[in-house]
Amino acid sequence: MKDVRRFYMDLMKSVPREGDAKEVTFALFWECTRRARTDPHYIRVWLDWSTSIRHETWQRYLKLWNDGIAIFKSVLDKGKRDGDLDASLDSLTAAQILLGGAHTIGVMLFSGASDKQLESLVRHLVNGVLHSEASVRKR
């Protein structure tokens, strides 16, 4: 379990945080997707943990989950400060939705989705979540 946690934390920390918040968010997902192709056993364990609510590993999974949320939230908060994202965006909720979407990506990986399909999913997820209500109301 420590190996899985280290894998994910190292992976998330390896992605540069400079640039537009949407592109950084996409890069985080894409690096996870790329590494899932080369190290699928970590993704399998992560998916298994996410359903082990009654198992002793649940608390460790929640720690990893919360650390992932914090990483996404920091990217989104920086994007709001830099003007890349609407100031009204709820960064915590958006980070939770994004990390939840990682499960869909994992399922698609193991169902044989192509890189083109995965890239489309990730772009839709990132653009959909980071498109704020304020910008929708202006239309």
CATH number at residue 119: 1.10.357.10
DSSP designation for 51: T
- Is residue 101 over pLDDT 50? yes
| Mean pLDDT, residues 96-105 | 92
- Is residue 114 over pLDDT 90? yes
Confidence of residue 136 (pLDDT cuts 50, 70, 90): very low
Tell me, yes or no, if the pTM score tops 0.75.
yes
Residue 53 placed within a domain: yes
Residue 137 placed within a domain: no
Confidence of residue 133 (pLDDT cuts 50, 70, 90): low
| Distances 117 to 15, 76, 112, 122 between C-alpha atoms, Å | 22, 25, 10, 9
The predicted-structure confidence for 55-64, as pLDDT tens digits, reads as follows: 888 888 898 8
Domain extent for 119: 2-132
How many domains does one find in the chain? 1
